[in-house]
């Protein structure tokens, strides 16, 4: 039987795109270990609408 892990799926949303007021949104799905990283994730990912790498933060 498989173990129940501490890994959970999280959604990352672009912070710059939200502030720019442009239509649409840039979101990524990732996983994290909730036992080791209790704070929210912050990763640099590519935003195809803005055509550059921006900071994406975990949303609830």
Q: Is the pLDDT of residue 11 over 80?
A: yes
Neighbours of 4 (CB within 10 A): 6
For the chain, the DSSP string reads -PPP-SEEEEEEEEHHHHHHT-SS--EEEEEEETTT--SPPEEEEEETTTTEEEEEEEE-
Cross-strand partners of 55: 44
Q: Catalogue all structural domains in the chain, each as residue range(s) with its CATH number.
A: 5-56 (2.20.28.120)
Q: What is the mean pLDDT of the chain?
A: 89
Q: Is the pLDDT of residue 43 over 90?
A: yes
Task: Grade residue 17 by pLDDT with cuts at 50, 70 and 90.
Answer: confident
Q: Is the pLDDT of residue 14 over 90?
A: yes
How many whole angstroms separate alpha carbon 40 and alpha carbon 37? 8
User: In this predicted structure, what is the pLDDT of residue 18?
Assistant: 77
User: In this predicted structure, what is the pLDDT of residue 54?
Assistant: 94
* Average pLDDT, integer, range 26-45: 93
């Amino acid at each position: 039987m498989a173990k129940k892990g501490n890994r959970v799926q999280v959604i990352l949303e672009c912070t710059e795109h939200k502030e720019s007021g442009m239509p649409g949104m840039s979101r990524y799905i990732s996983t994290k270990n909730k036992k080791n990283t209790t704070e929210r994730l912050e990763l640099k990912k590519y935003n195809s609408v803005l055509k550059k790498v921006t900071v994406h933060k975990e949303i609830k």
